[in-house]
Amino acid sequence: LSGVETQERAPKESGSSPAAEEKPLSYRSLVLTGYGGYDKIKLQVKTHNKLQLKAGEVLVRVKACGLNFAELLGRQGLYERLPPPPVTMGMEGSGVIEAVGDNVEDRKVGDRVIVLIRCGMWQEVVVVSADQTFLMPEQMSFEEGAAIPVNYISAYMMLFDMANVRPGKSILIHMAAGGVGIAATQLCQTVQDVTVFGTASASKHETIAQGGVTHPIDYRTKDYVEEVRKISPNGVDIVLDPLSGSDTQKGFNLLKPMGTLIVFGAANVVTGQRRNLLAMAKTWYNQFTLNTLKLMQTNKAVGGFHLGHLTDQQLITKTMEKLMELYKQGKIKPCIDSCYHFEEVADAMRRMHERKNIGKVILLPEPKKKEEEPKSNAEPGEKVEKTESAANKKKEEATEEVKAEKD
């Protein structure tokens, strides 16, 4: 995102402002040490001396972070916006401002803020530009704050800035029980008479129906194209496609004349915790291609969205302001699926990999207390998987101490 030039927005020691000059600062950080499985993310302790903020920067004590599909791709080396390892991942979070640099006029110590950056959020403290922070409404929890930026900005811009959703329109939302899916469904409820088709496994249908999905479709046992056609023979006006591959072609074919397809992900390339070359090859082989002549002949539009490549900070800020207002009005409310401490990042990623989550998976920087289990809205009878080998591995992998002291 705009303003992030370093690999990781960790506290720095250079600068002219003495506003944050303190004793050595130690903080825990989740570091991607290489590409591969869950074991490539290590919990480390970093120490910085003589902390000073540059003009326009703020120091934020992080209370909650969001987990996104981009981080699953990043761990496998498939997310081009992530700098190479070693790097701290995480694009969004929430916390409290503990120090401000010079020329920061609209933020103060003690402000509760949401943060959106390119990477580096998965640690206990971050230094960011003040314009990458957004004031939280009083009634908003830190978990909700961390769940808003990536999912809700993406959903809002795709629906209103690109697809121009209006009363009476119909939309197909893939992965409707995920973070973007729930955000898009809630935002559709702010427009009168919008019909929402949503794909999700059968066990999630009751939840997404209560959230506003008009027609839930079980993509695992049924052909979603056929199911949509049964109810709406002419198709739909909008398709949000996070899947890519052959599903993009299906989405384009489902569009009514004057319809819009928006591609914003490639979930089909991720099938497990490590890179699957066959899945990647299959997805790219089936990649949807078309020419402008076909667009004219079919009277359809195709758009692409990638928040990581959006550098217009003003546009992002305006969108966040609109979302904060919708939250205050009670029209949107993030659905928190589960919360995991930094020590449990592998379990958090596994839950999203296996598509068990309904809503947002949150990471908590606060050290885990003994006997504390992850807070989860798991389906009845479903337990967050924790194998014995994983537990033993965690015991063996004590927190690494990393000194980053500079003169």
- Each residue's pLDDT tens digit in the chain (407 positions)? 233 333 344 554 434 344 444 578 899 999 999 999 999 999 999 998 877 899 999 999 999 999 998 899 899 888 888 999 999 999 999 999 999 999 999 999 999 999 999 999 999 999 999 999 999 999 999 999 999 999 999 999 999 999 999 999 999 999 999 999 999 999 999 999 999 999 999 999 999 999 999 999 999 999 999 999 999 999 999 999 998 888 999 999 999 999 999 999 755 445 555 555 555 555 555 666 788 898 899 999 999 999 999 999 999 999 999 999 999 999 999 999 999 999 999 999 999 988 899 999 999 999 988 766 566 654 444 443 443 444 444 434 434 444 443 33
Q: Please report, in angstroms and rounded to a whole number, the separation of the first and last CA atoms in the chain.
A: 30
* pLDDT given for residue 273 in this prediction: 54
C-alpha to C-alpha distance for 229 and 283, rounded to whole angstroms: 25
SS3 readout for the chain: CCCCCCCCCCCCCCCCECCCCCCCEEEEEEEECCCCCHHHEEEEEEEECCCCECCCEEEEEEEEEEECHHHHHHHCCCCCCCCCCCEECCCEEEEEEEEECCCCCCCCCCCEEEEECCCCCCECEEEEEHHHEEECCCCCCHHHHHHCHHHHHHHHHHHHHHCCCCCCCEEEECCCCCHHHHHHHHHHCCCCCCEEEEECCHHHHHHHHHCCCCEEECCCCCCHHHHHHHHCCCCEEEEEECCCCHHHHHHHHHEEEEEEEEECCCHHHCCCCCCCHHHHHHHHHCCCCCCHHHHHHHCCEEEECCHHHCCCHHHHHHHHHHHHHHHHCCCCCCCEEEEEEHHHHHHHHHHHHCCCCCCEEEEECCCCCCCCCCEECCCCCCCCCCCHHHHHHHHHCCCEECCCCCC
- Nearest Cα to Cα of residue 62 among 31, 94, 91, 107: 94
Neighbours of 209 (CB within 10 A): 17
pTM: 0.84
| Residue boundaries of the structural domains of the chain | 25-147, 152-311+320-333
Q: List the CATH code of the domain at 25-147.
A: 3.90.180.10
* pLDDT given for residue 372 in this prediction: 60
* pLDDT given for residue 376 in this prediction: 60
| Domain 152-311+320-333 fold | Rossmann fold (3.40.50)
